[in-house]
Amino acid sequence: MTSGIQNNCKENSDLLQNHLIGRMARSLLSMTFLLLICSLCGSLAFSFSVFLRPEEASQVLRIHKRANHFLEEIRLGDLERECMEEKCSFEEAKEIFKSQEKTMEFWFDYKDLNPCKENPCKNGGVCKVKYYQHSCICPPRFVGNECEIEKTECWYKNGDCWQYCQDNEQSLHVTCSCALGYTLSEDAKRCIPTDHFPCGLVKRSTHSNKERSFGHNQNDDGILDGENQTLSQENLTSWNQTLIQTLVEWNQTAVGGENEEYDFIKTKRNATESDLQSWINTNYTDENGDLKIIGGSFCRPGDCPWQVLIQNKKGYGYCGGSLISSQWVLTAAHCLDTIVPHHVTVGDFDKHQRDRDEQKVRVHQFWQHPQYDPNTFNNDIALIQLTSNVVFSQHVLSICLPSPNLATLLTEKGTVGTVSGWGSTHVKGRSTRFLLKVKLPVVSMDSCRQSTEKLITDNMFCAGYPEATQDSCKGDSGGPFAVVFRDTWFLLGIVSWGEGCAAAGKYGAYTRVSNYLAWIKEITESVTDSAGFLHGLK
């Protein structure tokens, strides 16, 4: 039995030994495998470190500085160390500048966050950084966050209105309106005639293209072009023939519609072509034989249809005026200083010949401006009321009055206006037989005041040329200074005073009509209900 026990112990010992040997072999195999894997990884890592990219390889030789390295937090902030040598955070930048505003200013540049880097402003707007955001400084006429909206205003091209313009603070656009006899079109800018004879609308006659001006050319807006034209003898002869054909036989119409004849009218006779040519040679030829009308030209029937000739009781025409409605005439106050006006003539061209649409109407009453000064000619303006309405036609028409905005635009330096009248052609000359006109540019107030020692007020403006070529003269007083704008004529000035006629370095002075719109409205409304012709004016 003892022998059996010993045999069992031996077998168990052998089994245990074999088990331990197996485990050791497996462990050794695992360790060998692990060593092999580690060896392979090491060789791969070595191979990768050899074949680095150039930019990575350059980093091997660089000395890397670490932010917040040892004792850095106790050192004072330094811009170069914190943000130039290293990439800094906003907090680090704030620690350096000690100011939120300066930090933000630096941070926008540091991170290239400037909103004005590429100008977002339209139409020439200037970009500015404000509170870390962009804002646009817009040029005139443009509004919006980026100046993208165009705003119309009356000071610029009359707000694109054809006649009257009014700024609207509650809107980006202006409000346009029209004179009596016109209506506003669908585009709310243009004015369309509704009457047969609305104010300021001249219908060109068949011979209008034959006009030759001695002055400077102007475009449709009355702006000076600066080129001169001359009147050739051929054109003059052709025009003379046309003129004679337009003179019709005598047909007396009494003053104020009454059947009354005047001796001064009976002395008139029909003009012939030889009469006209003889008169032109006598009155308009200088020593060299050149046609000389102080730079002017004939204002043929229908070309100055608002022109009025103011006459005394004996029929002597001594001043001009402008028809502003069928019953009202605007003239200079000094024309009524010593002579009482008896009647006016409209539609007249030849003072020695009855014209086709010529009308004579009695004067009912007149008003000089209450602040008129005969010494300085300040407020040189007067109103004449007629006893009856004139009959409008192609040759008899009222002229429109301008709004203050339009008047400012049309009296800018260089704007050309037309002055008409029967005044003298030279200082000591007699009045003319035929209605004449001359084109004159407005001059600056500075140039006007520097040209004279007399008082030039804001109620006046000057027009003319510095050289002695063109000007209005005595007898033209009270007449119109008219400017055409978008096919409509407006009364900008009244011939007031001057130093000589076309004197070198001197200009003519004109009453600024737009300064008296309130006074005109007050007078006309106080007398009758005829002030409707001021419709549209603000």
Find the catalytic residue in 348, 350, 355, 380: 380
**Known active-site residue 380:** yes
Strand locations in 26-125 (E): none
Structure tokens belonging to residue 361: 């109407």
How far apart, in whole angstroms, are the C-alpha atoms of residue 97 and residue 79? 9
Find the catalytic residue in 134, 216, 334, 369: 334
- In this structure, how many other beta carbons lie within 10 angstroms of the beta carbon of residue 186? 7
**Stated length of the chain:** 538
In degrees to the nearest 10, what's the CA dihedral of 342, 348, 352, 355? -120
H/E stretch holding 11 reads: helix 2-50
How far apart, in whole angstroms, are the C-alpha atoms of residue 126 and residue 250? 71
R_g over Cα of the chain? 47
Orientation angle between helical segments 233-246 and 273-283, nearest 10 degrees: 130
On the 0-12 / 13-18 / 19+ scale of CB atoms within 10 A, 31 is: exposed
How far apart, in whole angstroms, are the C-alpha atoms of residue 155 and residue 167? 9
How far apart, in whole angstroms, are the C-alpha atoms of residue 263 and residue 528? 34
**Known active-site residue 69:** no
Find the catalytic residue in 325, 403, 424, 477: 477
What is the bridge-based pairing of β-strands 460-463 and 307-311? Answer: unpaired
**Known active-site residue 207:** no
Active site residue ranges? 334, 380, 477
